[in-house]
Amino acid sequence: MRIVAQRAASGSVSWEEAGARKVATIGPGLVLLVGAGPDDDETIVRRMADKLIDLRVFADDAGRMNLSLIDVKGEALIVSQFTLFADMSRGRRPSLLGAGDPKRAEELYEAFVARFRERGIRAQTGSFGAVMRVSIENDGPVTLVLSSDDWPTRV
């Protein structure tokens, strides 16, 4: 599982569904771009979700990053992002063959979202597999990259 996490003052995602425009928004919290890989399972999903929920990336009264998403009663905007598994080591077009099976990836994505909700986080999502527009008002900026596998990023 690969995740780009951004601390946000606000965030939104929009997409077209059945001829209508859909929008999901959050206030202060985390915007998470999430990709599930072929070797991921429910144990990894739970570990990654809990790590992000408990990660102390929000400022306390002294301005230090000491507070978690739960501490600040923050929200999460969780957007599927299979291109996190793109291989750019050859050529000029990213290869997306390293992404997980779409059906299984959607199950893991839904389990990831469910874990946030189980822990009391208001979690908003886009539409898995849809073409979406994501807006992030990055706060800090604080951007973190998490991976459950060895992530070769060399080009």
The answer to whether 82 is a known catalytic residue is yes
The active-site residue, picked from 6, 58, 81, 124, is 81
Specify the 3-state DSSP secondary structure of 106.
helix
Closest CA to 44 of 87, 102, 105: 105
User: Of these residues, 25, 43, 58, 83, which one is catalytic?
Assistant: 83
Gyration radius of the chain over CA positions? 16
All residues at 6 or more sequence positions from 133 whose CB lies less than 8 Å from its CB, including other chains: 13, 14, 15
Please indicate whether residue 83 is annotated as part of the active site. yes
Of the listed 58, 82, 85, 116, which one is catalytic? Answer: 82
Which residues are designated catalytic?
81-83
